[in-house]
Chains A and B, each alone.
Chain A
Amino acid sequence: MSRLEALAQPAEAATNREFLRSVFASMLRARILENKLSSLYKAGKIVGGVYLGRGQEAVSATLGTALIQGRDFFAPLIRDQAGRTAFGEPLIDCTRTYLGSVEGPMRGRDGNIHRGRPGQGAPAMISHLGAQVSVVAGMLFARRLKGDLDGRVGATCIGDGATSTGSFHEGLNLAAVERLPLVVVVGNNQFAYSTPNDRQFACADLVERARGYGIGGFSVDGTDLLACASVLTEAVRRARAGMGPQMVVARLLRLSGHGEHDDASYVPGDVRDGHYGRDCVEVAMRQLVENHFATIEEIRGWQEKFAAEVQRAVAQAQQEPAPDPYREKWTALATRFPLANPTPSQPVFP
Chain B
Amino acid sequence: MSITYIDAIREAQLTLLREDPRVFLYGQDIATFGGAFKATKGLAEMYPNRVFDCPISEDAMIGLAVGAAIEGMRPIVEMQFADFSSIAFNQIVNQAATHFYRTAVPVPITVRLPSGGTAGSGPFHSQSMEGIYAQYPGLIVLTPASVSDAYHMLIDAVGLNDPVIYCEHKFLYRWLKAKTIHNDHLPIGQARIVRTGKHATVVAYSAMVHEAVRAADRLHHDGWEIEVVDLRSVKPLDIDTVLASVARTGRLLAVGEAFPWGGVTAEVVARVAGEGFHLLDAPPQRLNARDTPVPYHPQLWAAHRPTPESICEALRKLLAF
B193 cross-chain contacts in A, Cβ below 8 A: none
A177 to B140, CA, bound (A): 31
Q: How far is the CB of B28 from chain A (nearest CB, A)?
A: 12
CB-based contact B70/A123 at 8 Å: yes
A114, A131, A338 interface centre (most CB from chain B within 10 Å): A131
Query: Do residues A332 and B101 form an inter-chain contact, with CB atoms below 8 A?
Result: yes
Q: Smallest CB–CB gap between B182 and chain A, Å?
A: 19
Please state if A174 and B54 are interface contacts (CB–CB under 8 Å). yes
**A332:B103 contact, CB within 8 angstroms:** no
* B72: interface (CB < 8 Å): yes
Interface residues of B in 99-116 (CB under 8 A from A): 99-106
Mask: chain B, 259-282; 1 = CB below 8 Å from A; 0 = not: 000000000000100111110000
Establish whether residues A142 and B71, one from each chain, have CB atoms under 8 Å apart when the complex forms.
yes
Answer yes or no: B196 CB below 8 A from chain A CBs.
no
Residues of B within 8 A of A134 (CB): 57, 59-64, 66-67, 91
Stretch of B35-43, B211-219, B237-245, B295-303 at the chain-chain interface: B237-245
Looking at A86-94, A164-172, A217-225, the stretch in contact with chain B turns out to be A164-172
Q: Report which of A106, A139, A331 forms a contact with B71, defined as CB distance below 8 A.
A: A139
Q: Is A321 an interface residue (CB 8 A)?
A: no
> A137 touching B63 by the CB < 8 A rule?
yes
Taking a contact as CB atoms under 8 Å apart, the answer to whether B55 and A340 are in contact is no
Task: Pick the most buried of A127, A133, A174: most chain B CB atoms within 10 A of its CB.
Answer: A174
The segment from B120-128, B184-192, B222-230 found at the interface with A is: B184-192
List CB contacts (< 8 Å) of A306-345 with chain B: 331-335, 337-344
- Judge whether A138 is part of the interface by a CB distance below 8 angstroms: yes
B236 contacts partner chain A, Cβ-Cβ < 8 Å: yes
A-side contacts of B271, CB under 8 Å: 344
CA distance A170 to B24 in the complex (A): 20
A339 to B60, Cβ gap below 8 A?
Answer: no
Residues of B within 8 A of A332 (CB): 97-98, 100-101, 137-138
Contacts of A174 on B, CB cut-off 8 Å? 54-55, 57, 60-61, 64
Q: Are B70 and A119 in contact (CB under 8 A)?
A: yes
Within 8 A of A (CB), among B244-261: none
A136 within 8 A of B: yes
Tell whether A292 is near chain B: CB-to-CB under 8 Å: no
CA distance A348 to B271 in the complex (A): 9
A109 within 8 Å of B (CB atoms) = yes
> Is the Cβ of A335 less than 8 Å from the Cβ of B49?
no
Evaluate whether A135 and B102 lie within 8 angstroms (CB atoms) in the complex, with A340-B236, A340-B238 already known: no
In the complex, B44 has a CB within 8 A of chain A: no
Is the Cβ of B98 less than 8 Å from the Cβ of A118? no
8 Å CB contacts to A: which residues of B137-185? 137-138, 140, 160-162
For residue A52, CB closer than 8 A to chain B, the reply is no
| Alpha-carbon distance A348/B278, docked complex (angstroms) | 13
Q: Give A1-24 as 1s and 0s: 1 = Cβ < 8 Å from B's Cβ atoms.
A: 000000000000000000000000
Chain A, 102-125, CB within 8 A of any chain B CB: 105-107, 109-110, 114, 116-119, 123-124
Q: Say which residue of B63, B138, B276 sits within 8 Å of A333 (CB atoms).
A: B138
Residue from A133, A136, A167, A335 with most neighbouring chain B CB atoms (10 Å): A335
Whether the Cβ atoms of B24 and A145 lie closer than 8 Å is: yes
Q: Which of B67, B73, B90, B100 contacts A123, CB < 8 Å? A: B67
A114–B101 Cα distance when bound, in Å, is 13
Residues of B close to A335: CB separation below 8 A: 140, 160-162
Q: Which residue on chain B has the smallest CB distance to residue A107?
A: B104
A289 to chain B, nearest CB (A): 41
Is B65 interfacial (CB-CB < 8 Å)? yes
Q: Is B95 an interface residue (CB 8 A)?
A: yes
- Asked if A139 contacts B70 (CB within 8 A), the reply is yes
B50 interface hit (Cβ, 8 Å): yes
Report yes or no: A350 in contact with B278, Cβ–Cβ below 8 A. yes
Assess whether B64 is in contact with A131, with CB atoms less than 8 Å apart: no
Least CB separation from A75: chain B residue: B67
B275 and A348 form a contact (CB under 8 A): yes
What's the minimum C-beta distance from A110 to chain B, rounded to whole angstroms? 5
**Judging by beta carbons under 8 Å apart, are B101 and A340 in contact?**
no
A173 at interface by CB-CB < 8 Å: yes
Inside 8 A of A109's CB, which chain B residues have their CB? 101-102
Tell whether, in the assembled complex, residue B103 and residue A116 are in contact, meaning their CB atoms are under 8 Å apart: yes
B187 engages A339 (CB within 8 Å): yes
Closest beta carbon of chain A to B68's beta carbon, Å: 4
**Interface flag for B94 (CB, 8 Å):** yes
Contact A136 B67 (CB under 8 A): yes
A241 within 8 A of B: no
Let me know if A300 is at the binding interface, CB within 8 A: no
Interface centre among A138, A141, A170, A174 (most CB of B within 10 A): A138
Asked if A211 lies at the interface with its beta carbon under 8 angstroms from chain B, I say: no
CB-based nearest B residue for A135: B67
User: Closest approach, in angstroms, between the C-beta of A327 and any C-beta of chain B?
Assistant: 15
Question: Given the known A-B contacts A174-B54, A332-B138, A343-B237, are A126 and B94 also in contact in the complex, defined by CB atoms under 8 Å?
Answer: yes
Q: Are B90 and A128 in contact, CB atoms less than 8 angstroms apart?
A: yes
Query: Does A44 have its Cβ within 8 Å of any Cβ on chain B?
Result: no
Select which of B49, B67, B100, B102 is within 8 A of A142 by beta carbon: B67
Task: Assess whether B162 is in contact with A340, with CB atoms less than 8 Å apart.
Answer: no
- Shortest CB-to-CB span from A279 to chain B, Å, is 34
For B97, the chain A residues whose CB sits under 8 A away are 332
**A137 CB to nearest B CB, Å:** 5
B59 and A166: CB pair below 8 A? yes
Chain A: minimal CB distance from B26 (Å): 9
Which B residues are CB-close (under 8 A) to A146? 71-73
Residues of A within 8 A of B60 (CB): 133-134, 137, 167, 170-171, 173-174
| In the assembled complex, A143 has its CB within 8 A of some CB on chain B | yes
A-B contact pairs, 29 of them (CB 8 A): A109-B101, A126-B94, A131-B94, A134-B60, A134-B61, A134-B63, A134-B91, A135-B70, A138-B64, A138-B75, A139-B70, A141-B68, A142-B69, A142-B72, A167-B60, A170-B57, A171-B60, A174-B54, A174-B61, A177-B54, A332-B137, A332-B138, A333-B140, A333-B162, A334-B106, A335-B160, A337-B188, A341-B236, A341-B239
